Every structure is written in C-alpha cells, then in structure tokens.
Chains A and B, each alone.
Chain A
Amino acid sequence: MSTFYFIAFLSIFFSILVISAKNPVHSILYLILTFFTFTIHYILLNAQFLAIVNFIVYMGAILVLFLYTLMLINLNKESEPVKPFMVKIAGVFGGGILAVAVASSLKLIGASNPVLLQNPDLGLVKNLGKVLFNEFLLPFEISSVLLLSAMVGAVLLATKEKEPKAA
C-alpha cells in the first residue's frame, strides 16, 4: 500500500521537474523518469501488457523521438526566453484551480471504495488480446491506417519543400 503512495509521490515530483527544468533535454529525461513511475503503477495494477507497452512505446520510441527532434533543432542550450512572472503565476493558478475543481467534485460524488483486483488475468496479454481481436477488431484495423497516415504525414511535413518549378 505504501508502495503506491511512494510511487505516486515520485510521479508528481518528476512531473513537476519536467515542467520546471530550464533545459529541454533535462525535461525529456525527467519525463522518462515520470513515465517509468507510470509503468510501475501499471504493474501495481497488474496491467502487465500496458506496462510493457508503456515501457517500449513511450519511453523507448516516443521520448527518443523527442530527443531526436531536439537534436535536429539543436536547441539543447538554455535559450528559451522566460515568460513574465505574472503569466507564470496565472498559469499555476489556473492549473491549481483545475485540480481543486476536480478534487472537490470527488468529494461530492463521495465514492471511495478500494481498487480490488477481481480478476487477476485482466491485464494479461492473453486476455487483452482476446478482447482486442473480438470486440475491437475494426478500431484496431483502423488504427493501423491511422498510424500509416501519420507516418506519411510526418514524412511529408518534415521533408524540405522542393523549389517550385519555373512554370
């Protein structure tokens, strides 16, 4: 039980570091750590498949992509101009209000039963695979098209524009 709270604390701590780090590269590194705590959360919930996917896709692929982009742009110096103090205050205030609003709505709903693992096999690859390829077969196929189109789009966007031919 205390494991959850410890990991939760780490999640919050690292995510705060993500948004407060001056250097974007540090931000990405903190984000990797944050996502690692998330993976631990998934394991605690016995969602093994998601834990693996999170580990591979997010930490492995997506964040590497971030780093790679940063390298492309070559912006690892602390060149970011700082926003005015008031804006920062306003941003923190806005986010805080959002958190308070959601938290206070929890009080209203009032349901606070503990999370119990009724079916230990729930988050296993075998079980999820069955659900995915029975009920969600069509969305799965469509998501493959989505990924394909995203790849095409990314390539299109990122390639240098050719000089328009002289008409």
Chain B
Amino acid sequence: MDKYIWLIPILPLAGFVINGLGRNSLSKSVIGFIGSLLVLVSFGLSLAVFFQVKSTGVAINVNYFTWFAVGALKFPFAFLIDQLSSIMLLIITGVGFLIHLYSIGYMHDDEGFGKFFAYLNLFVFFMLLLVLGSNYLIMFIGWEGVGLCSYLLIGFWFTNPDYADAAKKAFVMNRIGDLGFLLGIFTIIYVFGSIQFAEVFPKAATMKSGAGPLFIITILLFIGACGKSAQLPLFTWLPDAMAGPTPVSALIHAATMVTAGIYMIARSNIFYTLSPDTMEIIAYVGLATALIAALIALTQTDIKKVLAYSTVSQLGYMFLGLGVGAYTGAFFHVLTHAFFKALLFLGAGSVIHAMSGEQDMRKMGGLKGKIKTTFTTMMIGTVAIAGIPPLAGFFSKDEILAHAYAHSPIFWAVGVLTAMLTSFYMFRMMYLTFYGKFRGTHEQEHHLHESPPTMTIPLIVLAILSIVGGFIGVPEVLHGHHELAHFLEPVFHKSNEILGEHHLSESLEYALMGTSVVLALAAMAYAYVKYAKNGSVPVADTEERPALTSISYHKFYLDELYDLIVRKPLDWLSDFFYNIIERLGIDGLVNGIGRGTIETSKGLRLLQTGNVGFYIFIMVLGIIAVLLYSVFGLTKI
C-alpha cells in the first residue's frame, strides 16, 4: 500500500492539469467526470490507507527525496500518515468527492465550469499535501496552496468588484496568519534544529512545561491558525468569502481548509500541552469567537451569511476544545462539523439554485413542500448542529463542553449559551426559509424546482453521515466505547498522559448533557413560535432596528473598527510617506541633485572660455604643481 500513497495527492493534481488545460476544449460532462472520478479514486486509496493504519496501528512514513539541505539541516520531501492524517484524508477526499459531484449540477450553467473544476482539484491537491506532509515545510506548502485556491475560488466571479474585494480581503488576512506560521517554523528550526515531526516532537516532550521557546512557538503557530481558521481577530474574511460559489463555501470554507488550523494545532499538540499559557489564550479566543459569531448570526438575513457565522462559531468551539486540552473532542468536532456544515451549505446552495440565485431569506419562505429532499436533509443538518441527540453534533459538542466544565465552569456556561444561540439561529434560518408563506416574486415561484440528482445524492449521503457520524465517539458515560478516542490515542498519547483524565462524576455529566439539550430544545421552540407560527420576518434594510439587533446585524461594527484602527492610520501614514517623504524628500533629493548639477554646470561652463591662451596658462600652472609635488613631495618621504 505504501507504494501508492503518492497517488493520493497526485491524482487531483492530474485533474487540475487536465481540466485546466482542457477547460475550453473538453465538454462539461467530461470535465465533471474526470474531476470527480480522480477524487473518488483518491478517496478509495485513502480508505485503503486508513484501514491499514487502523489494523496495524502504526504510522506510515514514506520518504521520497531530500528536497534541499542547508548544512546539517535537511528538508526531506516525505509523507507521514498516522491516525490523525488518515482521518483528514478521508474527510478531504470523501467530502471533496461529494462536493465535486454536487458541483456538476450546481455549476452546470456557468461559463467557467472547466476553470472551476480545475481550481477545486488543485485545492484538493494542496489540502492533501497539507495533511500528508511529514514536516512543517510540506505542511506550509499545502497551507499556502489552499490559501491561493481559496483566493481564486472566492474571486471566481471576479467581474463583480465586491467579490474580487472579498477575495483580496481573505488573502490579506490569511497572509497575516501565514506570517505567524512561518515565524513559528523558523523558531522551531532554531530551537530544535529540525522540522520533521518525528524528530521535533520527542525532543519537545522532554522539555519542561511552560518553557519559553515553546510559548513563542505555540503563540506563533496559533496566530497562523487564527488566520486560516478564522478566529478573533482575523475572522472577518470568512463571512465575506461567501462571495464564492456555494460548493466552494461548503468545501473550503466549512469542511476542510478552515479546519487546517485545528489540524495543525492537533498535530503539534505536545507543544501546546507543555505550554499552558497558550492553551489558556486559545481557550479564551475560541470562546470569544464562538460567542461573538453566534451573536452576529442571530440577525443575518443572507442564508449563506448565517451559515458562515455559524462556521466561525463552530470553529471557535473547536479552539475552545483545543484550549481545554480536549484534542480528541476538537478533532471529533472537525469531523462531524465537516459532515453537517457541508450538508447545510450544499442544502443552502440547493435552495439558492431553486430560488434562481436569491440568497435573502426575507424573500423565501414556504419552500418545505416544494423541495422536499433539500428540506429533509437540511433539517437533519440543523438538528445535528444544534446538538440534539442522537445526531452527530451532540456527541462532539458535548465532549468539548465536558472538558470545558472540567477546566472551568464559566467556560462551560458560555459554551452552552453559545450552543443555545446556535440552535436558535439555525432553526430561525430553517423556519424563515421553509415555513410560512412564499415571499418571493411570481417568477421565482414559477421556477421553483428540486435540484438534479447529482446535487441531491451528496445531500442524502451527507445527511446519513450527519446522523451516524456521532456514533464513532459515544462517550463511556453513555455506554459507548469512544472508538475515535482509542483510534487517535497514539497521536495524543503524550499529551493525554501529561494532562491526565478529567474526572467528572457520572451524574454531573448527565446533568451537563441534559442542560445543553434542554436549552437547545428551548431555543428551537422559541424560534418555532417566533418565525414559524407567528411568521415574523426580519425587517427590511431601510427600516430602523432596535439598538442591540442593529449591533448584531452590523457584525459588532468589527469591519468598521478594523477600518478605523488599521486602515485609517495606514492611509494616513501612506499619505504622509507619499506627500512628505516621497514627494518632498526623495523626489526633492533626486530633482535637487539634477537641478544642482545643471546649475553648477552652468557656472562651470563659463570656465571653458575656449581661449587657448588661458588653457595653456592653466596647463603651465598644472605642470608647476606636478613639478613641485614630485620634487618636494617625494623628497620628504
């Protein structure tokens, strides 16, 4: 099996090359077929690798060649497939395949069909590189590559300036994080003299807890993760990233790329375990992100924006999990979130498709009977994300919350509050979209139709996964075995040993679960009463909103705040540099030199009288000077 591992990333790359070169000559069905099939084959290979790792329990390390070497420092091009990366492989290729399939239907009428599939394949390639790399450098290649693809796909409809701006915003914000990541890698090289996971982690494990270098490394890597995984204060790019086509939002900005930060931290878990201060920071950042994003999501009217903030909020959850040491829980949540968030995005895409491109929920409503499959699957996703048992979200969210409680009950309280808000805004979205009366135009109503099978099949598959996905991690309290935790044990072994088990009594755990479930159900009921039964609709943009609603609707004015504290001073500084330093200083200097040369030349030109006698006189003086020098100057030596 080891021999074929290189095929896993190479196949999507081949798809990128074929589709990219043939985007104008190949027919749409051929392009869609090639793009999807290659990812499917990758998925098959990933499955084989997964089962090999599962059965043997040994990580596969494949070394291809030494990329380059600087002195004693070697940078091999090598893949590492352990429990963690094998699951990531399955998510990327599996969900990726479903989304490819979905895109065939969704993008069918788009002119850039070939380009779209080429980008998608390229994204899958880079994402696979990110998780397969056996050192930080390979990971960084993938990390940058997915950033590039994200940029390309957000700006896919680049003729719209807003979309192009959103793409630039995403790229720039990611760069901030990437710089942190890069500095983190440099620090790792400096401290450990290697970037190979296999060499760095054992060395790190011998350091003592709270060591200075580890704190620096973890903070820098966390900044990188903040950018990629949309955490405070770098999260505002993700909602704007919804400018891209919906399958992109599902694949890149919900299921895979944004979880790269969590993957990276989970991969480097030993660093974080030994750096409790960073853990604390991560927990706070995650919690704040989760809460703020959830508050913003409460009042959004764009169906994709709701999902985008929901994604940010869930990512915050995952970081909370990492921060309180629940690596397995966080990763479990990555897995389940990939299922139900991809499902919700694809469902939203299906709704938008049915509504002829309309994204505003105020113009929807009553779609329940018209697009049954979409409604059913989306409902499953909503229930799953709301954390209602026995669907997937409940188990993963509950595991994080339990760890949070063990760490500090306040974390737990805020977490549960967020979960309640999540439940509310998700059901609000569902009721606004599918219940009540239709609020769109007649033309839209006339066109309402269920999506083609290539779109509904992925929905159904993901819905099934959202239902059963949670059962791989049933906690022991509920008489499960938590298979995922056992499977991932080798990866987190050291960290778990240091952190120790959290000890909550069985009754307390039941109480915690019960509380969160009851609150989620209550929020759902409130949403039902407000939006489904009373049929209230968010006000139009022209009308006044209550103050609190307005703050939430305007995203806490965070964009405006960043504008004020980052862009304005930069503009001012640029103005200063342009007008004072550049125009007066540098231009003045350069022009001054030129003008000075001209003026002195004008003066010196008069010296050249053209009078031969004068020249001879000067020459004689020169000869005298040389003579005096050669006679007196030399004898003195």
Chain A residues within 8 Å of B, Cβ to Cβ: 83, 87, 90-91, 94-95, 97-98, 101-102, 104-105, 108
Contacts and interface: CB of A to CB of B under 8 A. Distances in A.
Given A95-B620, A98-B623, A108-B635, A87 B628 contact: no
A94 B617 contact: yes
Contacts of A83: 613
B511 interface: no
A101 B621 CA distance: 11
Contact of A94 (B621, B627, B631, B635): B621
Interface string B606-634: 00000001000100110110011001100
Contacts of B617: 90-91, 94
A87 B613 contact: yes
A104 B635 CA distance: 13
| Dominant SS among interface residues on chain B | helix
Interface of B: 613, 617, 620-621, 623-624, 627-628, 631-632, 635
Contacts of A91: 617
Contacts of B613: 83, 87
A95 B623 CA distance: 11
A90 B617 CA distance: 8
A98 B631 contact: no
Contact of B624 (A87, A90, A101, A108): A101
B600 to A, nearest CB: 26
B620 A108 contact: no
| Dominant SS among interface residues on chain A | helix
A13 B623 CA distance: 25
Nearest to B614: A87
Contacts of A104: 631
A60 B564 CA distance: 100
Contacts of B631: 101, 104-105, 108
A95 B621 CA distance: 9
Contacts of A98: 620, 623-624, 627
A105 B621 contact: no
A110 to B, nearest CB: 11
Nearest to A95: B620
Nearest to B635: A108
Nearest to A83: B613
A101 B628 CA distance: 7
A102 B631 CA distance: 9
Given A101-B627, A104-B631, A108-B635, 19 more contacts: A87-B613, A90-B617, A91-B617, A94-B617, A94-B620, A94-B624, A95-B620, A97-B624, A98-B620, A98-B623, A98-B624, A98-B627, A101-B628, A101-B631, A102-B627, A105-B627, A105-B631, A108-B631, A108-B632
25 contacts: A83-B613, A87-B613, A90-B617, A91-B617, A94-B617, A94-B620, A94-B621, A94-B624, A95-B620, A97-B624, A98-B620, A98-B623, A98-B624, A98-B627, A101-B624, A101-B627, A101-B628, A101-B631, A102-B627, A104-B631, A105-B627, A105-B631, A108-B631, A108-B632, A108-B635
Contacts of B621: 94
A84 to B, nearest CB: 11
A2 B11 CA distance: 114
